[in-house]
Amino acid sequence: MSDNIFSFDDELLDDFVNDSRDLLDEVEPTLLQFKSLQNTQDSDENFQILNTVFRLFHSLKGSAGFLGFDNLVNVAHEAETLLDLYRSSKQAPPMDQVDLLCLTCDLVRQMLASIKTDGNEQSHEESANKQIVQLEKAIRITQGHEVEETIEVTEITIGSEAPSQDSQLQEDTFQFQMEITPEMIEVFVQEADDTLKIFEADILILNQFPDSEDCIQEAFREIHSMKGNAGFLGYKDVERVSHKAENLLEDIAEKNKVMNEEICEVLLEVSDILKAQVVLISNGEDSKIDNLQAILDKLDRVSGIEPQNSIQEPIKEDITSKTSIHEPVNEDNEPSFEKAIEKPSSSKQNVPAPAIESIVEKTSVTEKPVPKKPKPKPKGNTKTEVKRQDIRVDLAKLDQLIDLVGELVIAEAMVINNPDLKGLDLENFEKAARHLSKISRDLQDTTLSIRMVPVAATFKKMIRLVHDLERKSHKKIQLLLSGEETEIDKTLIEQVSDPLVHIIRNSADHGIQTPEERRSHGKSETGTISLSAKHEEGEVWIIVEDDGQGLNRNKILQKAIEKDVISADDQLSDHEVWQLVFEPGFSTADQVSDISGRGVGMDVVRRNIEKLKGKIEIQNSPGVGCKMILKIPLTLAIIEGMLVEVGSRYYTVPLLSIRESLKPTKDNIHINPDGQEILSLRDSLIPIVRLHKLHKLEAKYDKLEDGILVIVESRKDIYALFVDALHGQHQTVIKPLSDYVGDIRGVSGCTILGNGDISLILDASTLIQIIQQDFQHTRSST
Amino acid sequence: MSEESELLNLSEDTQEGKFLTFKINNEDYGISIRFITEIIGIQKITPLPDLDGCVKGVINLRGRVIPVIDVRIKFGLNELEYHDRTCIIVVNIQDKSVGLIIDEVAEVANIPASLIDPPPNINHGGSSRYIEGMGKLENQVVILLDVNKLLFEAELEQINQVG
């Protein structure tokens, strides 16, 4: 690869790193789907996954090549080669190779990290080479070779292109070992059909605009994939013709040759011949090009190569069949794909004539500036690729936008409800005002939703984690995901990721038992960890549930006493016992394993969640499993709230915690000897809480029957909140109370009303705690 | 509110030695204008439950919710009914905006360092621990407050307890 010719600005690097990370995030879970497909014969599904993963490595290689990260390119290339083999055979790779690919992903991540910090990935050269060796080995095994472990590895590391080309040539000799199924042929025909269509279109454009680099590159890629696929299925003639055409195109791409009409003619002829072959193949006939030598000679002639060159081919095959595959085969003659992929992107900057551009756009789509078009693009599966259309925005800008929109909404309300307008009959004004309100509400909703992202990306990271844990702990674990579409503020979800990792690790290590144990307990051998998310009580709940052995109360108590966290005669509720788990340094593990046991993880969990003003709830059933619920507030989310009036004050009660509201009558109110008022509603007795007393306000009404009772529910607690009046439901933006005042019990935040007033949002669950404390307090004092 | 825009237009350099002076209980106090973002009239304050003392509640400052502190209470003085001269000085310190309720705003005064005496060394407890120095103007003495201490000394402890 050439040196860095361009000086890349940080932004470009950042984009590359970010994009690549996104790709990795996307691909890892996909990769692990193979696990579940190990035993299925569903080749279609395998194929799809393979394609996805293949595309990742391919794009990675392309972008890295463009930026000159050679080590990264080499690694990605090997992974790609390996995947290509499976792609062609539509088999799921065995687990050890999936692992290998996962490790490759890890290495790539490390490289990306270095690129981000140092601007290059040189520090990983050694590990990259090691990984390449591993991948090489896998490739050889996959090709059906007996591996010669002692093969010299150093020389292969740089010229990574050679082996891959080799592998394709080699397949010639090994085709008889491979079972070629009718499906494979069908896919080949479909792919080839599409490939040739694009190829032909490109050549036609080139005929008119010989300088269109994009077309040359694309044609080159298409014919390259044609060669690969044909070679794999053993269509030797097709392969040879493609190979020659490919060489020719490479020469043109490298500017060693200039495109001219003659070349176009020959290439079109190639296209026609290949098309005819594809038709033959699709009819189940053998592929045989009758005037093979004629077309080969023609290609040679326009390439300016002496015809004798064609003898090279058999020799090459000869060499390779002797398993000395690391002989760098005639590198100069081999089309180097990295070079090819590097060009389209750079040429983008030169902006070709617009006319060409538009044609190119029609025939092929290369949308991003980073080279994307994978070489053997899986044309066989006709599903259109989901295009991600997002841009990165500075969070601070977003926050500012949201604040501004909030102010706009308030300002609008101040105009529309302006006291000066009172009593005036303004029909047209009101019409316009309604219109304005609608628009501003839409605007508000949209801006708020910008920050919200589905938890899916974070959840998907856990797939890889569980996979690794499964391997390390020798247990069988499956991970079920649900509610991935639940949206949560972007900054929050980032902070939730770490705690989730720790919790899942614990579940896998301590919770889920070994298959033998599980069997003896009458459970299925495979343990299940389910990860779900949902909106509840104006919060996001992320629930991790396992069907393992659950927390062991006695063991925790015993450890806690040992560690002097509690004294032996403390009487603790279950809840308090579970809280012990979060103590720093607390672990019931007898041995520190490489997964967990140091007692750090759960401490981290608690700290992180508390930082987000969230809560952790543990529901444990010994022997059956353990459920951890992370309750995370939606700092910036919108909630549906009921506006209630108490005295002169307006409060917002989250609609999610309201069960119903009613006007009580004298008959269904009772007072117990403690002075506690109780509402009897149908069959249940519900304590009544006078909000104005709690907040020391002057209430409009003193008699319960004059006001309204709002039945509020929080977990298992239920109580009736006495308020003066209800003022309807509103979608409100939660604003955090200032850091300066810290947490306030019973209030989760505030919101700004249409008239600019601040309304406190009541927090049903902490409110009940205050009430209970007050109640205990009054009881103990009397 | 021309004062406000004037304040905002001053650059760092010219802010040196400039203090906003205001009255509390007929005493002159000053705060370095470096910390001040704006001065607003008294607004509707939404009290927060469960909070006693000088934090009176929160106000809506153009969409931002900021807490306000009654400096009189902070100094242990008796509370006064707010009137039309009562002002809220919005300060921004340690990335937090807080409003200070004071009796009335006087002026922006130039008090060079040479005219500032250290605080009297009599009483370290009570409110005098918030004093940064005593500024001597021609015919008056201005008590210069250390906003950091004023806002965060007690509150830091409080916040730490909560956290």
Tell me the DSSP string of B128-157: GGGEEEEEE-SS-EEEEE-HHHHHHHHHHH
pLDDT at residue A467 in the model:
81
- Residue in B47, B63, B162 closest to A406 by CB: B63
The burial class, CB within 10 Å (0-12 / 13-18 / 19+), for A512 is buried
Q: Rounded to whole angstroms, how far apart are CA atoms A761 and A577?
A: 31
Taking the CB of residue A491, how many other CB atoms lie within 10 A of it? 14
Q: Note whether B46 contacts A752, CB cutoff 8 Å.
A: no
Computed over its alpha carbons, how large is the radius of gyration of chain A? Answer: 34
What 8-state DSSP symbol labels residue A724?
A: S
* Contacts for A101 with CB less than 8 Å, ≥ 6 apart: A31, A53, A79, A82, A83, A93
With CA atoms as reference, report the closest residue to B151 among B104, B106, B90, B109: B90
Count how many residues are written for chain B: 163
Q: Rounded to whole angstroms, how far apart are CA atoms A426 and A437?
A: 16
A672 & A762 share domain: yes
- Residue in B66, B158, B163 closest to A738 by CB: B66
* Contacts for B96 with CB less than 8 Å, ≥ 6 apart: A738, A739, A740, B151
Which two tokens mark A527? Answer: 């343990």
Chain B touched by A396 (CB under 8 Å): no
Which two tokens mark B139? Answer: 């015919």
Count of domains forming chain B: 1
What is the H or E stretch that residue A708 is in? strand A708-714
Q: Rounded to whole angstroms, how far apart are CA atoms A67 and A437?
A: 49
A597 & A666 share domain: no
- Strands of the sheet containing A758-762, edge to edge, are A725-733, A638-646, A649-654, A758-762, A747-752
Which two tokens mark B74? Answer: 């902070």
How distant, in Å, are the alpha carbons of A221, A251, A558, B29 from that of A305?
A: 22, 11, 83, 93
Per-residue pLDDT tens digits for A427-451: 899 899 889 989 988 887 788 778 7
Chain A touched by B156 (CB under 8 Å): no
Q: CA of B79, closest CA in chain A: separation in Å?
A: 18
Q: Rounded to whole angstroms, how far apart are CA atoms A530 and A478?
A: 8
pLDDT at residue A372 in the model:
38
Whether A412 is in a domain gets the answer yes
Chain B touched by A758 (CB under 8 Å): yes
A309 & A402 share domain: no
Query: Which residue reads 């004539």 in tokens?
Result: A353
Positions of chain A with pLDDT lower than 50, given as ranges? 1-6, 146-177, 307-386
Chain A touched by B50 (CB under 8 Å): yes
Q: Which residues pair with B131 in a beta bridge?
A: B145
Chain B touched by A690 (CB under 8 Å): no
Chain B touched by A694 (CB under 8 Å): yes
Whether A165 is in a domain gets the answer no
Q: CA of B88, closest CA in chain A: separation in Å?
A: 16
Which two tokens mark A267? Answer: 């290439």
Show residues of chain A in contact with B68, CB under 8 Å: none
A472 & A436 share domain: no
Q: Which residues pair with A720 in a beta bridge?
A: A688, A711
Q: CA of A695, closest CA in chain B: separation in Å?
A: 5
Dihedral (CA of A64, A69, A71, A72) sign? negative
Asked if residues B86 and A758 have their Cβ atoms less than 8 Å apart, the reply is no
Chain A touched by B52 (CB under 8 Å): no
* Contacts for A466 with CB less than 8 Å, ≥ 6 apart: A477, A478, A479, A504, A508, A529
Q: Rounded to whole angstroms, how far apart are CA atoms A360 and A215?
A: 7
* Contacts for A118 with CB less than 8 Å, ≥ 6 apart: none
Which backbone phi and psi does A285 adopt, to 5 degrees?
Answer: -95, 165
Show residues of chain B in contact with A406, CB under 8 Å: 63
Q: HEC string of A600-641?
A: CHHHHHHHHHHHCCCEEEEEEECCCEEEEEEEEECCCCEEEE
Q: Rounded to whole angstroms, how far apart are CA atoms A99 and A464?
A: 10
Residue B60: pLDDT band with limits 50, 70, 90: confident
What CATH number has the domain bearing residue A692?
Answer: 2.40.50.180
Which two tokens mark A513? Answer: 């038992």
Q: State which amino acid sits at residue A225.
A: S
With CA atoms as reference, report the closest residue to A74 among A148, A171, A1: A1
* Contacts for A146 with CB less than 8 Å, ≥ 6 apart: none
Q: CA of A478, closest CA in chain B: separation in Å?
A: 37
Q: State which amino acid sits at residue B49.
A: P
| For A770, nearest residue in chain B (alpha carbons) | B50
Task: Quote the domain boundaries for residue B100.
Answer: 2-162
Q: Rounded to whole angstroms, how far apart are CA atoms A63 and A50?
A: 20
pLDDT at residue A757 in the model:
82
Which two tokens mark A711? Answer: 């039945």
Q: Rounded to whole angstroms, how far apart are CA atoms A678 and A672?
A: 7
Q: Note whether B97 contacts A735, CB cutoff 8 Å.
A: no
Asked if residues A60 and A104 have their Cβ atoms less than 8 Å apart, the reply is no
Taking the CB of residue A435, how many other CB atoms lie within 10 A of it? 10
Q: Note whether B50 contacts A744, CB cutoff 8 Å.
A: yes
Q: CA of B154, closest CA in chain A: separation in Å?
A: 11
Q: Note whether A740 contacts B151, CB cutoff 8 Å.
A: yes
What CATH number has the domain bearing residue A223?
Answer: 1.20.120.160
| For B64, nearest residue in chain A (alpha carbons) | A403
Show residues of chain B in contact with A740, CB under 8 Å: 55, 66-67, 96, 98, 151, 155, 159
Q: Rounded to whole angstroms, how far apart are CA atoms A493 and A500?
A: 10
pLDDT at residue A705 in the model:
81
Whether A385 is in a domain gets the answer no
Count of domains forming chain A: 5
Asked if residues A687 and A637 have their Cβ atoms less than 8 Å apart, the reply is no
The burial class, CB within 10 Å (0-12 / 13-18 / 19+), for A323 is middle
A118 & A243 share domain: no
- ipTM of this model? 0.77
What CATH number has the domain bearing residue B48?
Answer: 2.40.50.180
Show residues of chain B in contact with A636, CB under 8 Å: none
Q: CA A212 from chain center: how many Å?
A: 36
Q: HEC string of A318-364?
A: HHHCCCCCCCCCCCCCCCCHHHHHHHHHHHHHCCCCHHHHHHHHHHC
What CATH number has the domain bearing residue A449?
Answer: 1.10.287
Tell me the DSSP string of A562-606: HTTSS-TT----HHHHHHHTTSTT----SS--SSS-SS-HHHHHH
Chain A touched by B59 (CB under 8 Å): yes
A484 & A522 share domain: yes
A512 & A647 share domain: no
Q: Rounded to whole angstroms, how far apart are CA atoms A156 and A131?
A: 12
A424 & A462 share domain: no
Task: Quote the domain boundaries for residue A371.
Answer: 180-378
Chain B touched by A268 (CB under 8 Å): no
pLDDT(B88) > 90:
yes
Q: Rounded to whole angstroms, how far apart are CA atoms A710 and A108?
A: 56
Q: CA of B155, closest CA in chain A: separation in Å?
A: 8
Whether A756 is in a domain gets the answer yes
Best mutation target among B65, B92, B151, B159 (most A Cβ atoms within 10 Å) is: B65
pLDDT at residue A42 in the model:
60
Q: In the Cβ-directed half-sphere of A483, how many Cα atoms lie within 13 Å? A: 15
Which two tokens mark A603? Answer: 């401490």
Asked if residues A266 and A260 have their Cβ atoms less than 8 Å apart, the reply is no
Can you give the pTM of this predicted structure?
A: 0.45
Q: Which residues pair with A627 in a beta bridge?
A: A545, A619
Dihedral (CA of A67, A242, A48, A218) sign? positive
Q: Rounded to whole angstroms, how far apart are CA atoms B48 and A378?
A: 62
What is the H or E stretch that residue A499 is in? helix A490-506
Q: Rounded to whole angstroms, how far apart are CA atoms A173 and A167?
A: 10
What 8-state DSSP symbol labels residue A509?
A: I
A435 & A466 share domain: no
Buried b (16+ CB within 10 A) or exposed e, A676-714: ebbbebeeeebbbbbbbebbebebebeebeebbbbbbbb
pLDDT at residue A337 in the model:
42
SS3 B136: strand
Q: CA of B84, closest CA in chain A: separation in Å?
A: 19
What is the H or E stretch that residue A539 is in? strand A539-546
Max intra-chain CA distance, chain B:
47
Q: CA of A757, closest CA in chain B: separation in Å?
A: 7
pLDDT at residue B39 in the model:
92
Whether A73 is in a domain gets the answer yes
